[in-house]
Amino acid sequence: MEANDSLKRYTLLVSCGASFLTPFMGSAVNLAIPSIGKEFHGNTFLLSWVATSYILASAAFLVPFGRLADIVGRKKIFLLGIIAFGLSAVLCGLAWSIESLIAFRVLQGIGSAMIFGTGMAILTSVFPPQERGKVLGINAATVYTGLSLGPVLGGAMNHNLGWPSIFYLTAFIAFAVLLFTVLKLRGEWAGARGENFDLLGSILYAVGLVAFMYGISAIDSVVWAKYIMVVGLLVLIAFVRYEMRVEQPVLNLSLFAKNVTFAFSNLAALINYSATFALGFLLSMFLQVVLGYNSQTAGLILLSQPVIMALLSPLAGTISDRVDPRIVSSWGMAITTLGLLVFCFLSKTTPIWLVVVNLGLLGIGFALFSSPNTNSVMGSVEKRFYGVASSTLGTMRLTGQTISMAVVTLLLSIFIGNVNLNTANPELLIKGARTAFIVFTVMCFGGIFASLARGRANVGVQ
């Protein structure tokens, strides 16, 4: 039965509120990285893990919590996630060392997994297929609004109130979303109620992913990293073999084997986020460490990209209801590739107006890719797989973000070593950033073909 208008409205508001949190905090924290490094005397390796630890924890737990939500109820897991996210944000603000901050960021990542393994699935459960592209576009616009406000508000708060204020504001928003959800969002959604939860598969998945991604990130800094990476890969192989034999797996691998649209849409998302996520981290360091801008000014410079994304995402989502999402998102990937190529030539003499214009170009690319690609994924599966599909897509996003940060961490450690940012050689920092952009451009170019290879999407599957 179709949901009534008030339930649709409240569901969209709750989903948008939750979707605002992570991008706002992530883009705001990027502006605070130099300040955190200065206060805690953190080297570049540890500072990169302020971002990476959160993303990796989210990626490791997204699929298990998405599956659990399908069984016990998506709203239950969503509420627990909002609580965990808000409390851990408060703890991050109270952190007394960079190690404690990283630990609290892991807890925050687990809370984020509970939110984003369920929020998109709830939204897709409530709205019918013919409205899905439109609401996913609105939801994506909220994500990009968070990305827009993050650099400006986060940069200003860091400059005037200190970096902990960013976490306190995030906690306040989380508890506001929690209150609204409890008071207004009636009902529960569980597409796989009564099925078994695959605990062993969940453990293998989380352990394998964390070990593998940590090994890649730390391979140039930690002597044991390459062995940890190999162990992680072996555990992931064991996970795949185990999941193929389980009747009710945590991750239904047949969705990849039998559903071309689902498989290649997720691959396109993985490539896109691998190639683009570290952009804010790199440009924040370039603007502050190399060019000497304060965090407030750097935030304003970074604003053009998310503003364009927020403005165009609803339109891109609506277009994907009428035009094959594969075409729209592939054009987005191509424009993103062009924007990354421009940044391969970044230098001290690059005019700021060119940085701003190119960020706007990247914003167009991101907007055209994101919501149509999400529409492809959610429209290619049956309702009982909404939680798994949502969390799988989220895992592709977060795994891509982890890969992106791993590439940057590895390249910066090669070019400048594990030194404090205030002693880093600006020329070497620029060389490391340019090399990262070259890698990302090549990856994104390959992503165009992954996006096209999915075939014509069957948006509207029930």
Over residues 39-94, the pLDDT tens digits come to 888 777 788 788 778 878 887 888 888 778 878 777 888 889 889 999 999 999 99
Please state the φ and ψ torsions of residue 43, each to the nearest 5 degrees: -85, 175
| pLDDT for residue 3 | 46
* Local structure of 43: helix, strand or coil: strand
Domain map of the chain by residue range?
A: 5-185+250-452, 198-249
* Local structure of 159: helix, strand or coil: helix
Q: Give the 3-state DSSP-derived string for 52-89, with helices as H, strands as E and coil as C.
A: HHHHHHHHHHHHHHHHHHHHHCHHHHHHHHHHHHHHHH
Largest CA distance in the chain: 62
Which whole-number Å values give the CA distances from 261 to 207, 325, 456, in the listed order? 28, 10, 7
| pLDDT for residue 2 | 46
**Residues 6 or more apart from 216 whose CB is under 8 A from it?**
225, 229, 403, 406, 410
The amino acid at 7: L
Would you say the pTM of this structure is higher than 0.85? no
* Local structure of 162: helix, strand or coil: coil
State the Cα–Cα distance between residues 126 and 283, nearest whole angstrom: 39
Q: What is the full per-residue pLDDT of the chain (462 aa) written as tens digits?
A: 344 667 777 777 887 888 888 778 777 887 788 888 888 887 777 887 887 788 788 878 888 887 788 787 778 888 898 899 999 999 999 999 889 999 999 999 888 888 876 766 677 777 776 676 677 777 777 776 776 677 778 878 888 888 899 899 989 989 888 888 887 777 666 566 667 777 888 899 889 988 887 887 777 677 888 899 899 999 999 998 888 888 778 777 777 777 888 888 888 889 988 888 888 888 888 888 888 888 778 878 887 887 787 788 778 777 777 777 778 888 999 999 999 999 999 988 889 999 999 999 998 998 888 878 877 787 777 766 666 677 677 778 777 877 888 788 788 878 877 666 666 788 888 898 899 999 999 999 988 888 887 655 444 444
Residue 382: exposure state from Cβ atoms within 10 A (0-12, 13-18, ≥19): exposed
* Token couple for 265: 């849409």
Please state the φ and ψ torsions of residue 168, each to the nearest 5 degrees: -65, -40
Please answer whether residues 17 and 141 qualify as being in contact, where contact means their C-beta atoms are separated by less than 8 angstroms. no
- Return the ∠ at Cα 258 (arms to 256 and 259), rounded to 5°: 65
* Local structure of 420: helix, strand or coil: strand
Number of other residues whose CB lies within 10 A of the CB of residue 439: 20
Fold of 5-185+250-452: Growth Hormone; Chain: A; (1.20.1250)
Closest CA to 136 of 407, 298, 354, 376: 376
260, 266, 267, 273: CA torsion to nearest 10: 160
Which whole-number Å values give the CA distances from 380 to 88, 255, 259, 330, in the listed order? 35, 9, 8, 17
